[in-house]
Structure 1
Amino acid sequence: MGVTHTATREALLRRQGLVFVAPGAATASERHLQAIELELAQLGYVISVRLRQRLATLTPEELAPHPRLVAGALAAQFGGNVPYTPLFRRFPEDVPKDTRDVYLHKVLCHFLQTEGQPCVFCRRVGTTHVLSPCLHVVCDHCFDGANYSACPVCEHHVDRSSPFFKPGLFLARSLPKEKVRFKLLDLGEDLPAAARELFESFCARTQVMSPVDATDLGAIVDDFAEQVLAWLPDKIAVRENVARIFGALLRKCNAPATFAMAQAHLATATDVLRTLAVYSGADPSLQGATVKRLVARPKEGAAEPSGLAARIEKIFAGGRRLPKAETVSVPIHAYRFKVGPLRRPLRRALLAHLEAMHPDGLVEDMLRHRSYWQWVGKFLHPHEFAEQFPQVARAFAVVRKKAPDGTPAPRFIGFHAAIEAAARAGDAPAMIEKLRQRPGELGRRFDHALRIAGADAAAQDVVISAFVAAAPRLANPLLLTLHGHLPTRGRPAAVRLFWPKGQVAKGVSAPDVRPTLAPQAIAAAGQVVERELLRRLADKPKFATCVLDEGLRDVIVPFNERTASRAAVSLSRGTKVALPAGEVVRLFLHWCQPEVGDSTDIDLSVAFYDEQWAYVGVCSYYQLRFDGADKRPIAQSSGDLRDAPYPDGAAEFVDVHRERARAQGIRYAVMVVNNYAGMPFSKLERAWAGMMLRTDLGGRQFDVRKVELKFDLQGENGVFMPLVLDVAESTMHWLDVYTTGEFEFNNVETSNKAITKICPEMIGYFASGARISMYELALLHAAARGQRVVVRGPDGLRGFERGADESAEAFLRRLRAGEGASPAELPAAEGAPVFAALLHGDVELPAGSVCYALFRERVIAPIAASDLLT
């Protein structure tokens, strides 16, 4: 019998380390079990005694599907499911020291080398070979065919059966001799129950789900279909998550029946639009998409172009008139999606739901996404039902700026326009009077309202009083944002960072010209926020013991997860992680073009900077080695591959020797992934990058056991800066930010201005405390829910006991200050359940414990960081 619910099994395996195996009535051979253990060990995993005992009850036929599924899913999670063959096959050995000399040989070979003639360099006869399909003629004496995996001249993949490529070139390399920290896999007993628990945790999210969460939600819905309807809670906190859940259900289940259940959760027109987007296979963020539109260039002598035609002229001819008509493909950012099938019963249900909304609220909400509604209206046909649904017909008339009979639509002034008018007039009380209607908006505009109030004490009191009244209705993520934000507002920030809504993070910065807030306003609001957070957390299950890692001080509470890169380890943007000394950082890149797609060249580079962010050097395709004064490589590249044909793709590596870099006065090493030419990241069959920590640089270039980070490349932008290595502090800063770049000729040189602006600004922003850490969030949980708190830090274990009459606020202050600590031990594995928040889940916790662990390791079924926000 085959394995069912495969996608859900893989999700629970990746997230929680659980393998679901039904008990059998046979006895598996020891040889089979050892083979499974060996295969998993090569991926960096070990199985628990319970899991091994369960596998031992299966016949060979029953056993076979499980290791295939487990090994395949775990290999894919960390990028070990594809071949990694760099240009220089023997990397890190035999990388040319002089990149300019290599380039000169390429150029002269390209232009001068001909078939059947002596080599232009060594003058030997009979040593040249014509490679297919590029037709470059290469000499096997001047270019080492045992070291190259592609054409040495153009660096494109070619037919490897050519005699140029020496025998044995593609034999597998041995597994490196590394010290490995293995991750534990355990037995899962009840797959539907585990799936339901995970589904309910997605519903309870208080912020937008990450791409990984959204994919796993879809897997559960696809696997369990109608069963999921019984798992739906009465309330789903985040509207975009509502859309993801019900949009997925509409695709899988009976549409009218599912929509009937969805109605209770769709409070606004935007909720309906987002759900319709997910149902249609589009993204619910409603940020539009880049599409190609065919446009005819104007003929010579035609009238001066205007509008879109004028833009075409500017793009393709620098503003000059073009001589003849020609159809061109132009990228257009369109606010629409391909609408899924809308049968008449579903259309009527959608229109009826919209009709039941407040008329003015409906119009205002639809105007927020006017372009989308203009497009969707073509499929809903609202004016066919104008008599039955008159308010919907009116709203569409306003959106379209005219009624079906051509008469102009009435002018409409909405909620946000009234707030902006009050702000421009400097009338904070009027602003607040309007904002009281929407507590969430009041919380988001609280800082703005205080600035509008200025030094007017009466106006400040109105703002603060309104905020105090609204606090119980504010979402946890908003309260936590204010918890970090407010203490920083007593002084100007070094720089302001903005995070525009979208599919990838493109941080926008500006000088901080905001007036600072009054100390009494900061203190009053801060106390309200902290008290409200502690009150809510106190309603959660209590624990006798809480275990916290001080290493979480540098791990940022997740925010804006919509734009987070899909990653094997869920690092939140701005997180800083300590790296062990001595190990070489090996960065890797893999990408693959679609089976039918354009040739795409993606480059992996590392740029080096000193303490003041002055540029020091680079290791990239145009400088394969970056050497120190002692001529030893600080960094070296595995070479530049300029295409990635389906199905194997292409790979590049860069080794960074941190100790040597620090000795040369280097402070920062920035990983940069550039889309040099070809398709954007999002259009590729697959594309990812990551980081290994290596001691043994021999053997396989890619060792999945030593992968610390693996993250997908996404979006339309050409330059991606995932991380910065601080070689002086031996830390890694996770930035996960894209910057606008063209799809041609991107490299570190052309991106240097963006690098030296974005990286220091982001590092400084997160160091300022504007975003709170997971340690601070864990302290809030411990102070509200725990009786005893054990803190694990560099100096060992410290214990804190709550006093008999000690309030959560007082206990929290003492935990922050470290007052009243005594030596402590970790709780015994057979003891009562604990609450734990760990950097490395390298401890065995009692059964029934609740644990967040950034790096899972031995912890089974950890919760996600987002679960601590609910």
Structure 2
Amino acid sequence: MPRAVPVKFDVRVDLDLGSFLLRRRTAVAVDPAELLPAADPWSLRGLTALDADLAARGYLPTVELRSALARLAPLRLAELGGALLGRLDHLLGTDREHTPLFRRFPDAVPEVAQLHHSRRMRTFLRSQPHQPCARCGRRGAEVGIGLLAPCAHLLCPECLEAQDGPPHCPSCGVVLAAHPFLFGGKRKAVREQAPPRKGQPDRAERQGAVLRPLRLLEQDELSAALAELTGLLTRRTALNPQDRDDLAALLAHAPADLAARLPAEIPVRETKAVALAELLRREGESALPVLAERLTTATDVLRLLWAYAGAEPDLLPGTARQLRLRRLSRPLRRGLLGVLEGLPAAALAEDLRRHREPWLRVGELLHPFEYRRQFPSAAAAFALLRGTDLDTASPEFAEPPAPLRVVQVDGRRRLAHTGFASRVESLLAVGDTSGALAELAHRPGELVRRLHHLLRVHEIMEPGTPPPAELSAVLSRALPAVGPGPLLGAYGRLRGPRSRGERRLYFPRGLVALAYGREDHGTVVPARSSAPVVAAIEAELLRRSAATLPVRPEVALLDEALTGMSVPFAERSAARALVSVPRGSKLPLPPGERLRLFLHWMQPHHQRVDLDLSVALYDDDWGHRGTCDYTQLVYGRRAAVHSGDYVSAPPPKGASEFVDLDLAALRAAGARYAVMIVFSYNDVPFDRLPEAFTGFAGIDEDEGGARRGPLSARAVRQRMDLTGDAKVSVPLIVDLAERRFTWTDLNTTATSGYHSVARHRDTIAALSSDVLDHFAPDRRATLWDVASARAAHATDQVLVRGLDGTVLRWRREPAEPVGEFAERLRLRHAPDGPPVTDPLPELLSGRRAFLTLLEADLPVPPGVHGELYRLHPGPLDAAPDALRRLTAADLVATLAPAP
């Protein structure tokens, strides 16, 4: 028998189900068939090495996982451990080589970039004095080439004297100093002193002190993957890009009987289109019966064809021209036209006109006029869309189906139809709120989206009067059918205080998260008009919170920090991130006095790409206080330090930039806000890069003070991919006074290249100010609103952990209505008695619980079961599957209307 060897881990990335389950469940699958009867001695030695590698990344295997790994053969443990480390590095962004331009960053960074440039040029000129003049090209010691002050470019004295006007550098145009030469002239270079090395932060403030648990997957990989697939398909809120990638991968690897595994209802239409497109690829025309059953609108058909062509089924403007649709067989064309024919003529015509350009492309595939006798309604809808001249068309269109009609346009007969949106806009334009309300009553979602507009028009037409009498009755019938997104959006919009001329922020629909702000000088909706509507929405949210509870929990634990977390919205344009933070959320900064921002990118082989990590500093009134970027590497007394500017990132290593922020020093220097920005200096969109990501981390150091490198895996707090047709990204805004940051995940418009803080600082200040106002808790629905409503209905006993760690208890009185209890809890009024002194694990032990936490930093209470939402991982993640994990989208989805 050959002698066993110690385990050696080969770190690599293996994008398979293991990576998927590690990211979504923080769990590792071990095949029971591979387990030995007892722990292998050599595997135990290798497991010790794996423990150390995992701890360096901020993770700790649970007892169950470690016991299973110890029973693997040494070579199998080496293979699984290497893959695990590679997956973790990929998630954290530390699987790339991060080398700052200044190798001993932050200590070796000069005070300003110009000093570094001057030092390099002086050294170069001393060692190689025969350099050419930038203007005349002469060279040689007798010419007397010198370095200009202050730019350090090369020029000879004769060219300097020959200039007209004020002396300036011919290379950059800067006006020269009174003594025009830094080196080579009369002025001597000033000796530069290295900055003092800062003291090391206290160990208690370092990140990574609490290791995140890795647990053993309680079921096999395939069963777990199918459970995740079902969860994604049945989710009642839109999927973010990461979830969409997961859905596509799971569908591609699903078993052959995919049609039988699809749930009875797929609520989100884009999700349904992706699933049906995969079914169509597999089964072709055989899938037509399933398609005919599940495609209920014309837009469903359009989304299906988009997904079938490999595109996102969002139907965003401008994508139709770029997409190459797949050809369809004749039976498939007839089947899809049959689906369109079975729809009401009015809805069919309106859906086609809503997405005119995509349907014109699809019409080239379906050939509806070839089947005009078999499918006359579908053919008439396309004739309306194309503006077909009826005088030259076939006689089938002479009698179009109602409500289509024939009109004369420029002396020619064409089909016409007045759509729903046109009717509503016409009624609101003339101030007929009752008529508009009657139309909107047929479409509850559109009614809720237009509530603010409707109330504003009513206030213009009848100032000082209450809302229309019929509004209450219409809302009582409509609200139960509205999705949680529009409902929470209207709730946040109407409940907050408003003023004339206030700034409003708009987020156009698209794959890139752009935001536009403007002043709103329209009529303000008074509280007397909005309050009844807000009360009706709150009552509906409470009703749904009670209706979606499968089993009543015994206790609920809420985190007060959730008051700063916005409910997810515009998830389709959210960036893929290590931690899924809803856009606009305001969260505490990591412990410690310093924060490290990072950026990594890799350019294509054929194109140079220069990304720049920058920080813009502003005061309380958004006046610009300073900048830390490639033009100024050090701000203040090293309050902000840049690692140096890379102007290219050739593969395979790419390039990385960092900025260290000393929070106390920045505040002392008069800065209130620090805005993190990533610029594409030479105007290359992020989506053209093979890889680009950014994020932030704590400052992690060894006990002896030796640094672990510029980016420590266990110190990484957030990692976000840079994607989309954008060139300026604003990931976050740091409030230095409150020691909190707002996760923005936004982009600004940019053209013509050469982007920098100096060029965009006013735009960034306006955007940042608008973002903080727009996402203020009193103006937006928050996860605290959702969690407190659910907890009030879930149980009569609710524990709330405050921002200072104090735990208070709320109990519902026997005669207290649930609505009043929920309102008291949401506002955190009148807790029951003094702060709770018993440890939380003891209060939760053996009980069914509903937990919503910012940090999963509690030990696992024995026997706890129920539901858990947490933003950041922690020891509580080691809980078994009996404590079901929720995402922010899952919390919002609990408010979905009953099917």
Q: Same fold (TM over 0.5)?
A: yes
SS in structure 2 opposite 1:234?
coil
Q: 1:188 to 1:409 in 2, by over 3 A?
A: farther
List per-residue Cα deviations over 1:755-780 (Å, max 9, x = no partner): 11100111112125221221121101
Give the residue type in structure 2 aligned to 1:607.
A
Please state if 1:834 is matched with 2:820: no
1:818 alignment partner in structure 2: 829
Query: Which stretch has the larger CA shift, 685-694 or 9-18?
Result: 9-18
SS at match of 1:862: strand
What residue is the counterpart of 1:558 in the other structure?
568
Paired residue for 1:207, among 214, 217, 237?
A: 237
Matched residue type, 1:771: R
* One-letter amino acid matched to 1:821: D
Aligned residue in 2 for 1:38: 52
Which residue does the alignment assign to 1:328? none
Aligned partner of residue 285 in structure 2, secondary structure: helix
SS at match of 1:636: strand
The reply on whether 1:856 has 2:873 as its aligned counterpart is: yes
Within a 5 Å distance, the mapping from 1:55-74 to structure 2 comes to 55-74=69-88
Looking at structure 1, the residues matched to 224 and 317 of structure 2 have their Cα atoms a distance apart, in angstroms, of: 35
- Structure 2 runs not aligned, ≥5 long: 1-11, 135-139, 142-152, 155-170, 172-201, 394-411, 878-883, 894-899
Give, as a single letter, the amino acid of the residue that structure 2 aligns with 1:703.
S
The C-alpha deviation readout for 1:677-699, integer Å capped at 9, x for no partner, is 15310111011100011153833
The within-5 A match list for 1:662-701 is: 662-677=667-682, 679-694=684-699, 696=701, 698-701=707-710
Structure 2 vs 1, CA of residues 671 and 768 (structure 1 numbering), >3 Å: closer, same or farther? same
* Partner of residue 557 from structure 2, selected from 547, 566, 580: 547
Which structure 2 residues correspond to residues 533-682 of structure 1 after superposition, within 5 A? 533-539=541-547, 540-541=549-550, 542-580=552-590, 582-594=592-604, 596-627=605-636, 632-677=637-682, 679-682=684-687
Determine if the alignment matches structure 1 residue 98 to structure 2 residue 112: yes
**Structure 1 residues 682 and 556: alpha-carbon distance in aligned structure 2, compared to 1, 3 A threshold:** same
Name which of structure 1's ranges 522-531 and 199-208 shifts more when overlaid on structure 2: 199-208
Partner of 2:808: 798
Answering whether residue 817 of structure 2 is matched by residue 807 of structure 1, we say: yes
For residue 874 of structure 2, what is the amino acid of its counterpart? E
Q: Does 1:229 align with 2:259?
A: yes
1:392 partnered with 2:402: no
Distance 1:47 1:699, change over 3 A: closer
Kept in 2, the 8 Å contact 1:8–1:219? The answer is no
Deviations 1:763-813 (A, max 9, x none): 112125221221121101101112311111125111222233433212212
AA paired with 2:355?
H
**1:143 alignment counterpart:** none
1:585-638, Cα deviation, whole Å (9 max, x unpaired) = 1100001123x33111010011111111111111111111112xxxx2111111
How big is the shift at 1:429?
1.2
Question: What residue is the counterpart of 1:337 in the other structure?
Answer: 323
User: What is the RMSD of the two structures over their aligned residues, measured on CA atoms?
Assistant: 3.0
TM-score normalized by the length of structure 1: 0.83
Is 2:733 aligned against 1:716? Answer: no
Shift of 1:234: 2.3
Q: Which amino acid aligns with 1:362?
A: L
SS at match of 2:796: strand
1:599–1:644 Cα contact (<8 Å) kept: yes
Supply the distance in 2 between the matched residues of 1:463 and 1:211 (Cα, whole angstroms): 37
1:260 match? 289
Unaligned runs of 5+ residues in structure 1 are 125-135, 138-152, 154-175, 290-332
Pairing of 1:110-129 with structure 2 (within 5 A): 117=130
| 8 Å CA contact retained: 2:641, 2:660 | yes
Name which of 739, 757, 762 aligns with 2:766: 757
Question: Would the aligned equivalents of 1:590 and 1:650 in 2 still touch at CA under 8 Å?
Answer: yes
Give the conservation status (yes or no) of the 8 Å contact 1:336–1:375: no
**C-alpha distance in structure 1 between counterparts of 2:422 and 2:527, whole Å:** 30
Which whole-Å CA distance do the structure 2 matches of 1:71 and 1:695 have between them? 19
Whole-angstrom distance in 1 between the partners of 2:256 and 2:27: 24
- How much does 1:752 deviate? 0.9
Residue 365 of structure 1 pairs with residue 351 of structure 2: yes
| Counterpart code for 2:630 | Y
Alignment of 1:490-501 (within 5 A): 491-492=499-500, 494-501=502-509
Give, in whole Å, the separation in 1 of the partners of 2:35 and 2:128: 68
Per the alignment, do residues 235 and 621 of structure 1 end up closer, same or farther by CA in structure 2, a change over 3 Å counting?
A: same
Q: CA shift at 1:185, angstroms?
A: 0.9
SS at match of 1:799: strand
Paired position in structure 1 for 2:310: 281
Checking the alignment, whether the CA contact within 8 Å between 2:617 and 2:674 is kept in structure 1 is: yes
Q: CA deviation at 1:473?
A: 0.9
My pick for the range that moved more, 253-262 or 525-534, is 253-262
Q: 1:491 Cα deviation (Å)? A: 4.6
Identity of aligned residues (%): 34
For residue 335 of structure 1, report the CA deviation from its aligned partner: 4.3
User: What letter is aligned with 1:840?
Assistant: E
CA shift digits 1:501-523 (9 cap, x unpaired):
01121111222223233434323
Alignment check: 8 A CA contact 2:683 2:754 kept: no
1:60-83 Cα shifts (integer Å, max 9, x gaps):
344344223322222111111111
Does residue 472 of the first structure (1) align with residue 483 of the second (2)? no
Q: Equivalent residue of 2:734, what SS? A: strand
State the Cα distance separating 1:487 from its structure 2 match. 1.4
With over 3 angstroms needed to count, the CA separation of the structure-2 counterparts of 1:47 and 1:119, relative to structure 1, is farther
The superposition leaves residues 725-763 of structure 1 with CA deviations (integer Å, 9 ceiling, x where unpaired) of 111111111111100012510000111121111001111
Given that 1:401 and 1:408 are in contact with CA atoms closer than 8 Å, whether structure 2 keeps it comes out as: no
Q: Where in structure 2 are the equivalents of 1:373-452 lying within 5 Å?
A: 373-402=359-388, 405=392, 409-452=414-457
Secondary structure at the counterpart of residue 694 of structure 1: coil
* Counterpart contact for 1:206–1:477, Cα < 8 Å: no
- In structure 2, relative to structure 1, the CA distance for the partners of 1:35 and 1:64 (3 Å cut) is same
- Give, in whole Å, the separation in 1 of the partners of 2:499 and 2:25: 43
Q: Is the 8 A contact 1:490 1:519 kept in 2?
A: no
The aligned amino acid for 1:100 is: Q
Q: Which has the larger radius of gyration?
A: 2
Can you list the C-alpha shifts for 1:533-573, whole angstroms capped at 9, x where unaligned?
11111121220011100011111111111111111011111
Q: Provide closer, same or farther for how the CA distance between residues 120 and 848 of structure 1 changes in structure 2, counting only shifts above 3 A.
A: farther
Preserved contact between residue 558 and residue 865 of structure 1 (Cα < 8 Å): yes
2:857 maps to amino acid = D
3-state SS, counterpart of residue 834 of structure 1: strand
Alignment of 1:717-796 (within 5 A): 717-742=726-751, 744-767=753-776, 769-793=778-802, 794=804, 796=806
Contact map agreement 1:603 1:674 (CA 8 A) in 2: yes
Give the paired residue count: 771
Q: Note the C-alpha offset of 1:229.
A: 3.3
Q: Look up the equivalent residue of 1:786 and give its one-letter code.
A: T
Partner of 2:146: none
Paired position in structure 2 for 1:530: 538
Partner of 2:496: 488
Q: Deviations over 1:361-388 (max 9, x none)?
A: 1111111111111122222222232222
Q: Which amino acid aligns with 1:867?
A: D
Would the alpha carbon gap of residues 65 and 275 (structure 1) be closer, same or farther in structure 2, given more than 3 Å must change? Answer: farther
2:510 is paired with a residue whose SS is coil
- CA displacement at 1:527 relative to structure 2: 2.0
Q: Go from structure 1 to structure 2 and tell me whether the alpha carbon gap of 1:695 and 1:240 turns closer, same or farther (over 3 Å shift).
A: same
Whether the aligned pair in 1 keeps the contact of 2:100 and 2:644 (CA below 8 Å) is yes
Q: TM-score, normalised by structure 2?
A: 0.81
- How far apart, CA to CA, are the structure 2 residues paired with 1:856 and 1:787? 28
- Distance in 1 (CA, whole Å) between partners of 2:343 and 2:123 is 72
Deviation string 1:409-440 (CA, Å, 9 cap, x unpaired) is 41222111111111111111111111121111
Name the CA shift for 1:109/1:747 in 2 (closer, same or farther; >3 Å): farther
Runs of 4+ in 1 over 4 A off after TM superposition: 3-6, 103-110, 112-121, 176-179, 333-336, 403-408, 456-459, 489-493
Could you tell me whether the CA contact under 8 Å between 1:577 and 1:732 is conserved in 2?
A: yes
Q: Which residue of 1 aligns with 2:519?
A: 511
